[in-house]
Chain A
Amino acid sequence: MAAGDGPLHPLEAPFTAPTTHQPAASSTTTTTAGLASGTTTRRRAKSFLRNYYGIQQADAALQEGAREKSSSHPGGAALTKADPYDLDSHAFEVDKYMHKMFVEKQLPGLVQSDNELVADIRQLDGDMKTLVYENYSKFLSATDTINKMKSNVDNLESEMSRLTENISKIATSSSAIHSSLGGKREKIRQLNGVHSLLTKLQFVFELPTNLHQCLETESYTQAVKSYCRTLHLLQHYKHLTVFTGIERECKTIMVQIAQKIRQKMRAEEASLTEISENVGLLLALKEDPVALWKQYLELSLNALRKVRTKTLQSIESLPLYIPPPAAGSPGSNAQTPVATPKKSSKKARTPSGGTKDKDKDGKGSKSASAPAPVPADKVSVLNAQFLKQVEIFVSSFRSYFLVTTPTASQSGVSGEAAPSEEKELVESSPDPASSAPSSTSPPAWIAKDVARVHASLTREQQALATKAIKEAISKIVSGYLDTIRSFLDYPDDIFSIQPEVHVHVLQTLYLGTISSTSLCQLSGFDSLATGLIQNWESRLVERSLAKVKDGLLKRILEPGNGDGGWTVSIRETAQWLLDVFKMDTVPFLERCMSSEAQFMETKEGRALFLKNFQDGFKLFWDQVLQEMQQLASASSSATSSLTASDKSTVETLAPGPAAAANNNSTRTSLVMSQLCFELSNATVEQLYRAVSKTLFRPGKRNRSGSFLIESYEEPPMVAQLQWDYKNVVQSCQETGHLLLDGFISRTGNELSWLVMDIQPSSTSLSPTSTERVSVDFLTLPSPPSGVSWAWEEVYRQLNEIERQVIAVYGDEGDRAGQHRDISSESARRESIFKPTANTTGGSGSHHDGSNTNTNNGKRNDSLTSFGSNTMNSRFFESSHQQRNLLLSNIDKLFSDRVEIFVRCQDLTRTGILFGIIKILLKAWAESVRTRTFGKGGFQQVQVDAEFAKVWLWRFATADERLMHSLLEETQQTAYRRCIDPVPLDSNTVESIIHSSER
C-alpha cells in the first residue's frame, strides 16, 4: 500500500497538510517512513470523508490536470490554476501560505487568523464526530436485522418439507379414483346419447301430431320452427321407411300450413310486422325465394301505403310543433282539440318534461298501443308510425333476401359465398336488429335466427331484388320527404316563420335519419334528407334575403318625399338596409341556427349553413345590383316612348301621372347610382362586418341579441367573407358608375335632341309638338327675335336636372347662391358677360398678332370671335379664310382631345352636370355642321351660343374653356355653313337675350 502510494506522495502532500492542522510537522523535514504511515491513515480518513461528500471525482480530475501540468512546467502552471493560498484548495501550500501570512500581517492579524483557523478546525472535528455517531446507530440496527433473519429461515425449511409430502399423497389417491371410475363414465355417456336420440325420435314421431295441433291452433310459427328443426333429420334418414312416412305426412301438413300462412299474409288487415313474420316463415319452408321476395315487396308496399294514408290522416290534426309546456300557448292547444284532454293528462305525468322527452314517450307508446292521439307533433308521429315501419320492412327484407350472413354455412341452407359488394352490409347488419327497440322489431325468434332464415338467392337474383327494393324504397322515401317538405311552408313574409317549427321538423327528420340505418344504406336516405335540409337552409336564406331585396327596391322606387330629401332618403335607405339586417334577417337566421337542432350541431352542418348563407348573401347583392340596372334600362325605354319635349313640358307645366312616373324613372337611376356609391362606401362593409360578427362568430353562438351589443374593438372580418366583401364593394362601385353614366348620357342625349331638332317619338301626344314645327334655319328671320325655343327648353330642363342632382348627390356647397336666386344670378351673369366678350376680343387680337399681313379693316375677323361688329363684311378672301381655318386647326392641335361619353369620375353636381353639358354642346356642334343656314339662322346660332355662354356657365364650372371652345366652334361652323353670314354685334346679341329674359 505504502509502496503503491509512494509515487503519489509528493503531490498528495499539499492536500494532507491543511487537514492535519499540524503546520509544524509539515514545515519540518521528518523521516520518510513515519511520514508515510501517518499520511496513509490520514489519507484514508480523508478519502472516506471525500467519498461521503461526493467530491472524489472532481478532485481526481484536478489531480490529473495538475499532474500533467507539473510534468511540463514543474511547480509553475499548477499554481496558476489552483490558488496555493486557498486553505480549501488542494493546491494549498503551507509554506507559501505561512510566508504570505508573515509578510502581509502584523502580529495581531496573525493571532486572529490563527484563532480563526482553530475555530474552523474545531468545527470540522465536531462535524466528523456527528457523522460517525449517526452511522454507528445504523450499523447497530443492521446487525439486529441480520440476526432475526437467521432464526426465521430455520423454521421455514421444515414447513416446506411437510407440504411436499402431503401433495404427493393427494396425487396418488386422485389417480386411484380416476382409474376406478373410468368404465362407468363411458357407459353414462352412451346412455346419455341414447336418451337424446330417443327424445329426438319421439319428437320426430310426434311431429305430424304436433303439426296438426299447431295447424289447428294456428300457431304456425311453432309449427315451422319444429318442422325446420327436424327437417334435416328427416332428410338424413330418408332411406328408412318410417321416416319417409313421417316426412311425407309432415310435408302435407306443412303445405297446408304454408297455404294458411300465405293466406294470412295476403289478408287485407295484415300488418307489416305480420307480413314480415310470415315471409320469414315461408322462407324457412324453402319457398321459392324469388317469387317470395316479389310478393313480399308487393304486399309490404301495399301495407306501407295503407299505413301511410292512415298516418297522414291521423297526423292531419296534429300540430307541427309543440312548444315546451313552460311556454305552452293556448293557441297551439286550441289547434288540436282532440288531443287536448289526453295531453293534459300527459302533462300531469311529465310536468316539467322537455319536448324531447315527450317525443320519445310519444313514440314508444305510439308504436306499442293503438293510434290513441298522444301529444305529438306531425313529424314525430309520422316518423314513429310510418318511417319506422319502412325501416322494419327494409331491414327484414335485407336480412331475408339480400344478406348472406357468416352463419349461413352452419345452418346449411346456403353455402353460397357472400358477394363482395354485400360484405359491408353483412358487417353492419347486426346493428339494426339489435338497436331497434324490441317492441317494434320483428318477432324475437326471427331476430335471433335471422341468420338462419334467409333466402338462397343467386347473385343475379339478389342483384335483381336489390334493384327492385331500391326502386320501391326510393319512391317511398321521396314520398316521405315530400310530406316533410310540405310541412315547411315559406310564406311571403319569411320572418313570420317560426324557426322553431321548421327546425323542429327538420330535427325530427334528422333523428329519423339517424335511426333508420338500413334505409340509409339501401337508398341513401340520409343524403336525401341532408339534401332536404340543405335545400331548406338555402331557401330560408334566399327567401329572407329576397324579402330584404324587395323592400329595398320598393324603397328605391317609391316617389321620394320631394326636393332636398333625396340625399337624406338615400342615407335612410342605406341605414334601413342595415337595420333590417340587424333587426330582422340576422337575428332570424341566428334563431334558426341556435335552436336545439342537432343537424346544425355538427361542425359540418354549421359550415354548410354558413356556406349557404354566404352564397345567398353574395347572390343577394348580385341580384340587387342587377335589378337596379334592369330598372334603369327599363326606365330608359319607358322614357324614350315619350317625346323629350312632351316630357319636359308636362313636367314643368302640369305634372301629370305619366310625366311624374317618367320623371321618377329618370331620377331613379340617379338615385340608384348614388345608393350604389353609398353602399360601396360604407354599408356593404358594415353589413359584412355585422354578419361576420354574428353568424360567423367562431365558438359558441346562441346568444341571440348579441348583435346589438356592439363592442368598439371591431374583430377582423372572417377570412372567407373578405373576398366576397371586396367583390361586392367593387361591383357596387361599378354599378353605380354604370347607372350614373347611363343617366348622364341619357339626359345629355335627350337635351341634344332638343337642339338637334329631333323628336324621337312615335306618339305625338304632346301639346307642344303641334305648335313646334321643325325649324328651317335657312329661312329664319334676321335678326332673331329671341333665344330659340330649344335652348329655352334646354335651360329649363337643365335647371330641373340640376335640382334632381343636387337632391340626390347633394350640393357640394361651393356655390353660395341658390340657382333660384334670380338677383344674384343676374348679377353673376352681368359679370360674366363682359369678360366673355373681352376674352373673345382678346383671342381675336391674338390671332391678329400672329397674322402680320392681315387687312387692317378686318381686325376682328378671327372666326373665333363674332362679338365684334366689324365682321359685317361677307367678302372674305379665300386665303384669309384658309388661314383662319388653319389657326383654328392649330388651336385644336394643342387642345386636349375631348372625350364626351366618358365615365364620370367627379361624383358631384359639377361633374355630373358638366358631363351632360359636354354631350349637349358637342351634339349641337355636330348638328350645326349638317345644316345650311340663312342669315337669320346663323344669327340665331349666334344668339343661342351667347345665351348658352351666359346661362349654362354655372353648369360647366368644371371646364369653362372646353365649353367656350365648343361654343366658338359651333358659331364658326355655322358661319361657314351660312349662305349669307352677317354676324350680329355683341350689343344686339345682348339685347336680344335680355328681351327674352324670364
Chain B
Amino acid sequence: MEATEHRSCAYGLRHQTRCLAAIKSNDGKSRFIIGTQELLKPNEIHLLTFDEDMFEISATTFSHPHEIWDISASKEDPDLFFTCHRQVIDGKKSQSTASLWRMKQGHKGEEYFDLERMHQHQSRGELELVLTLDVGDGTTKKVIWQDSTEVISVEDSRICIWDIDIKQGTAKRTGSIAIPDPNFKFSSAVMNPHAQEVVAVYGRSIQGWNLSSLKPTFTIQDSQSALIRCLDYNPNKPFQIATGGDDGKVRIWDVRETTTGPIMTIQDHTHWVWSVAYNKFHDQLVLTSSSDCQVNLQSIVSISTGADYKYGDDDRNEDDHSQGEEEDLAEIGQQDAPTDGLVHAFDQHEDSVYQVAWSSVDPWIFMSLSYDGRAVMNQVPSEEKFKIIMN
C-alpha cells in the first residue's frame, strides 16, 4: 500500500479513521499517530515513522479499546498521547472519554496476522493506560496539552482545565468554562502559544478565555454565515488565528479586531473545511483539509511573520536538515518571492480528509488522513520551498 508519487508516501489502515497527530521526535524522524474509528471492530493506534532516506513509512500498531475520535500527542514526551474515545453503553448511551496512554513499543519485525503487509516494517506494541479524565456527561471530544502538567479537555458544552500528574496517574479538574450559547456545541479549541489563553469555536462564533481567570478575552460573534469547524493559532504571530467552516472558506482573523471581519478569506475548498494547520516553522504556510477530499497548501505570506521580517527567519535554524538544504540551494540564486494563494492542492484522497498535521521536526513534511483510512505523507513543493528559503 505504500506509494511514492511525486514525493508523497501513502499508508493504508483498512479502518475508518478520523484523527491524526504529529508526535515529538528525538531522532529527527517525522512521526505521526493515527487512531482508528470502528464501531464494531477492534480499534488500533498506528504509529507511523517516516524514513526519509528510504522514503518509506514504517508502522507500529497498538490495540485500543474503543473507537477513537481525537488524538493529541504530548509536546514533550514522544510516548504519551491522549485519545478521545467513545463507547456505547448498554446499547443506549454513547459516552466519550479522554485517556492518556503511554506507548510501549515491542520488538521490530514481529509478524502480523495480515499476510499482505509482510513487506512493510510492521511491528506491534502495547499501550499502557496512564490516566483517564473523569468527566461527567461524557462528551469529551478533544484534549489539548498545555504542558506536561496541565491539559484542557473540550466537551460539547464546556471546556475543562485539568492538572495531571503522569507519574501518579491522577487528574484533577481545576476549572471549567461553560459554553456561552447553549444552542451550540464547542466544535474545537486551541491553545494560544503566546499566552495563557484558550481559544474555542462554537456555532458561528470564536471566543478566547484567559486560563487563569477563566474570563473571556475576546469574542467574534456570528463571524460568518456557516458553522465553524476548526481553528489553529499562528505559532509565531500573536493574535492571528485561522478558522475553517462549513462554507468551505478558510478565514484568517486578528483577534484584536473583532468587528472588522477576517483579514483574509480563502476559498479553495468546495465543501466543509475540517482541519487547518499552521506550519510551525513558516507560518506563511497553512494546510487545510476538507470533505471535498482535498488537502490544500496555502501561502498567506502577506500576513505572516515572513512579511514582518523580510530576512531573518531564525526558527528554521532548529532543523539541521533544512539548514543543509539551504546551503545547497544558495548556489541556485535568488528565487521569486513567495506570494499569497494556493501553493498546491493535493488530491490523493478518495474520501473526506478530516485531519492534517505538520511534522514536528521537518518543516516541509505533513500528513493528511482521510476517512477511508488512507494516510498520505506529502512535502511542500520544492519550488515553494526554495522561494521561502531564498527570501
**Which A positions have Cβ atoms within 8 angstroms of B?**
636-637, 640, 745-746, 749, 752, 758-762, 764, 778-779, 878, 882, 885, 889, 892-893, 897-902, 922-923, 926, 929, 932, 934, 976-980
**Do B88 and A900 have beta carbons less than 8 Å apart?**
no
Bound CA span A122–B204, Å? 125
**Do A749 and B39 have beta carbons less than 8 Å apart?**
no
Interface with A: B119-127, B210-218, B345-353, B380-388, which one? B345-353
**Do B181 and A778 have beta carbons less than 8 Å apart?**
no
Rounded to whole Å, the gap between the CB of B84 and the closest CB of chain A is: 13
Which listed residue, A764, A889, A926, touches B350 by the CB 8 Å rule?
Answer: A889
Rounded to whole Å, the gap between the CB of B126 and the closest CB of chain A is: 22
**Do B41 and A778 have beta carbons less than 8 Å apart?**
no
**Do B293 and A897 have beta carbons less than 8 Å apart?**
yes
Rounded to whole Å, the gap between the CB of B68 and the closest CB of chain A is: 13
Tell me whether A979 and B226 are in contact in the complex, defined as CB-CB below 8 angstroms, given that A762-B183, A893-B350, A932-B94 are known contacts: no
Which listed residue, B181, B226, B371, touches A762 by the CB 8 Å rule?
Answer: B181
Which listed residue, B41, B204, B271, B372, touches A760 by the CB 8 Å rule?
Answer: B204
4 closest A-B pairs by beta carbon, nearest first, are: A899-B270, A900-B271, A901-B248, A932-B94
CB of B203 within 8 A of chain A?
yes
A-B contact count (CB 8 A): 87
Bound CA span A977–B246, Å? 22
Smallest Cβ-Cβ distance to A919: which chain B residue: B271
Which listed residue, A901, A934, A979, A980, touches B271 by the CB 8 Å rule?
Answer: A901
**Do A760 and B272 have beta carbons less than 8 Å apart?**
no
A sample of 17 more A-B contacts (CB under 8 A), given A640-B225, A779-B92, A901-B270, is A637-B222, A749-B225, A749-B227, A759-B183, A760-B227, A762-B183, A778-B88, A885-B372, A892-B350, A897-B292, A900-B292, A922-B271, A923-B272, A926-B272, A934-B91, A979-B88, A980-B91
A-B contact list, 11 entries, CB within 8 Å: A745-B247, A749-B227, A760-B183, A760-B203, A878-B41, A899-B271, A932-B94, A976-B16, A979-B39, A979-B88, A980-B91
Bound CA span A764–B184, Å? 12
CB of B40 within 8 A of chain A?
yes
Interface string of B27-40 (1 = CB under 8 A from A): 00000000000011
CB of B86 within 8 A of chain A?
yes
**Do A926 and B291 have beta carbons less than 8 Å apart?**
yes
CB of B93 within 8 A of chain A?
yes
**Do A761 and B183 have beta carbons less than 8 Å apart?**
yes
Smallest Cβ-Cβ distance to A881: which chain B residue: B41
Rounded to whole Å, the gap between the CB of B207 and the closest CB of chain A is: 14
Bound CA span A922–B272, Å? 10
Which listed residue, A902, A977, A979, A980, touches B270 by the CB 8 Å rule?
Answer: A902
B6 / chain A contacts, CB cutoff of 8 Å: none
B351 / chain A contacts, CB cutoff of 8 Å: 889, 892
Within 8 A of A (CB), among B241-266: 246-248
**Do B225 and A746 have beta carbons less than 8 Å apart?**
yes
**Do A882 and B272 have beta carbons less than 8 Å apart?**
no
CB of B14 within 8 A of chain A?
yes
Bound CA span A640–B181, Å? 14
B292 / chain A contacts, CB cutoff of 8 Å: 897-900
B269 / chain A contacts, CB cutoff of 8 Å: 901
Rounded to whole Å, the gap between the CB of B262 and the closest CB of chain A is: 13
**Do B246 and A749 have beta carbons less than 8 Å apart?**
yes
B86 / chain A contacts, CB cutoff of 8 Å: 932
Bound CA span A760–B203, Å? 7
Tell me whether A749 and B91 are in contact in the complex, defined as CB-CB below 8 angstroms, given that A901-B270, A979-B40 are known contacts: no
Smallest Cβ-Cβ distance to A977: which chain B residue: B39
Rounded to whole Å, the gap between the CB of B63 and the closest CB of chain A is: 15
Rounded to whole Å, the gap between the CB of A594 and the closest CB of chain B is: 47
Rounded to whole Å, the gap between the CB of B294 and the closest CB of chain A is: 8
A764 / chain B contacts, CB cutoff of 8 Å: 183
Bound CA span A239–B327, Å? 101
Rounded to whole Å, the gap between the CB of A893 and the closest CB of chain B is: 6
Rounded to whole Å, the gap between the CB of A129 and the closest CB of chain B is: 105
Tell me whether A922 and B291 are in contact in the complex, defined as CB-CB below 8 angstroms, given that A746-B225, A778-B92, A893-B350 are known contacts: yes
Which listed residue, A636, A640, A778, A885, touches B91 by the CB 8 Å rule?
Answer: A778
* Chain B interface category by residue count: 35 or more
- Count chain B CB atoms within 10 A of each CB in A637, A900, A923 and give the residue with the most: A900
Bound CA span A893–B94, Å? 33
Smallest Cβ-Cβ distance to A759: which chain B residue: B183
Smallest Cβ-Cβ distance to B203: which chain A residue: A760
Rounded to whole Å, the gap between the CB of B226 and the closest CB of chain A is: 5
Bound CA span A882–B114, Å? 13
Rounded to whole Å, the gap between the CB of B275 and the closest CB of chain A is: 14
**Do A778 and B183 have beta carbons less than 8 Å apart?**
no
Bound CA span A761–B16, Å? 33
B184 / chain A contacts, CB cutoff of 8 Å: 758, 760
Bound CA span A893–B347, Å? 12
- Count chain A CB atoms within 10 A of each CB in B293, B350, B351 and give the residue with the most: B350
Smallest Cβ-Cβ distance to A926: which chain B residue: B291
Bound CA span A863–B86, Å? 24
Rounded to whole Å, the gap between the CB of B378 and the closest CB of chain A is: 18
**Do A926 and B347 have beta carbons less than 8 Å apart?**
no
Smallest Cβ-Cβ distance to A745: which chain B residue: B247
Bound CA span A752–B248, Å? 14
Tell me whether A979 and B291 are in contact in the complex, defined as CB-CB below 8 angstroms, given that A882-B14, A901-B271 are known contacts: no
Bound CA span A901–B247, Å? 7
Rounded to whole Å, the gap between the CB of B261 and the closest CB of chain A is: 10
Bound CA span A745–B270, Å? 11
Bound CA span A900–B227, Å? 16
Rounded to whole Å, the gap between the CB of A433 and the closest CB of chain B is: 62
**Do B248 and A900 have beta carbons less than 8 Å apart?**
yes
Bound CA span A637–B248, Å? 18
B93 / chain A contacts, CB cutoff of 8 Å: 778-779
A932 / chain B contacts, CB cutoff of 8 Å: 39, 86, 88, 94
A929 / chain B contacts, CB cutoff of 8 Å: 352, 371
Bound CA span A762–B183, Å? 6
Bound CA span A923–B292, Å? 11
Bound CA span A899–B293, Å? 10
Smallest Cβ-Cβ distance to B352: which chain A residue: A926
A900 / chain B contacts, CB cutoff of 8 Å: 248, 270-271, 292
A759 / chain B contacts, CB cutoff of 8 Å: 183
Smallest Cβ-Cβ distance to B229: which chain A residue: A926
B291 / chain A contacts, CB cutoff of 8 Å: 922, 926
A898 / chain B contacts, CB cutoff of 8 Å: 292
Bound CA span A764–B181, Å? 11
B347 / chain A contacts, CB cutoff of 8 Å: 897
Smallest Cβ-Cβ distance to B225: which chain A residue: A636
Which listed residue, B40, B181, B226, B372, touches A745 by the CB 8 Å rule?
Answer: B226
Smallest Cβ-Cβ distance to A778: which chain B residue: B94
Bound CA span A464–B351, Å? 82
B350 / chain A contacts, CB cutoff of 8 Å: 889, 892-893
Rounded to whole Å, the gap between the CB of A746 and the closest CB of chain B is: 6
Bound CA span A929–B272, Å? 14
Rounded to whole Å, the gap between the CB of B116 and the closest CB of chain A is: 11
B88 / chain A contacts, CB cutoff of 8 Å: 778, 932, 979
B372 / chain A contacts, CB cutoff of 8 Å: 885, 889
**Do A640 and B94 have beta carbons less than 8 Å apart?**
no
Smallest Cβ-Cβ distance to B374: which chain A residue: A889
- Count chain A CB atoms within 10 A of each CB in B88, B226, B293 and give the residue with the most: B226
Bound CA span A934–B41, Å? 16
Bound CA span A889–B370, Å? 12
A885 / chain B contacts, CB cutoff of 8 Å: 372
Rounded to whole Å, the gap between the CB of A644 and the closest CB of chain B is: 11
Smallest Cβ-Cβ distance to B221: which chain A residue: A762
Bound CA span A976–B39, Å? 7
Smallest Cβ-Cβ distance to A750: which chain B residue: B225
B92 / chain A contacts, CB cutoff of 8 Å: 778-779, 934
Rounded to whole Å, the gap between the CB of B324 and the closest CB of chain A is: 38
A923 / chain B contacts, CB cutoff of 8 Å: 246, 272
Bound CA span A994–B104, Å? 57
Bound CA span A746–B222, Å? 14
Rounded to whole Å, the gap between the CB of B372 and the closest CB of chain A is: 6
